[in-house]
Amino acid sequence: KAGVTQTPRYLIKTRGQQVTLSCSPISGHRSVSWYQQTPGQGLQFLFEYFSETQRNKGNFPGRFSGRQFSNSRSEMNVSTLELGDSALYLCASSSGTGRYFGPGTRLTVT
């Protein structure tokens, strides 16, 4: 089976812009969760989607949002980018106990 894919892998944006990141889960996995990884804060949970519904949400401002499509693919959006949003954004797809992470999207905000 193909693994979790995330696009794009690298992104440079300017403060105030918005960005959309995409995640394609492993075939058959219906849960997709998103994490932000930074050197200072480590890995932090953003949100989780299951069958197109947000089931869980972390402690991030409303500028961070996401959605899931009927084919389980997921997108996350960050509006009004801030310098502190520079991070590696990881998506994980799950089925049962297994959680499989993609390679991440490296977002740099200048």
Contacts with another protein by CB under 8 A lie at: 4, 31, 33, 35, 42-45, 48, 50, 55-56, 58, 90, 92, 94, 96-104
- Write down the H helix ranges in 1-110: none
User: Pairing state of beta strands 10-13 and 105-109?
Assistant: parallel
Rounded least distance, CB 49 to another protein, Å: 9
Q: How far apart are CA 101 and CA 103, in angstroms?
A: 7
Residue with tokens 């944006």: 13
**Complex with another protein: residue 34 or 85, whichever CB lies closer:** 34
Q: What SS3 state is found at 83?
A: helix
**Complex with another protein: residue 79 or 101, whichever CB lies closer:** 101
Rounded least distance, CB 18 to another protein, Å: 24
Rounded least distance, CB 16 to another protein, Å: 29
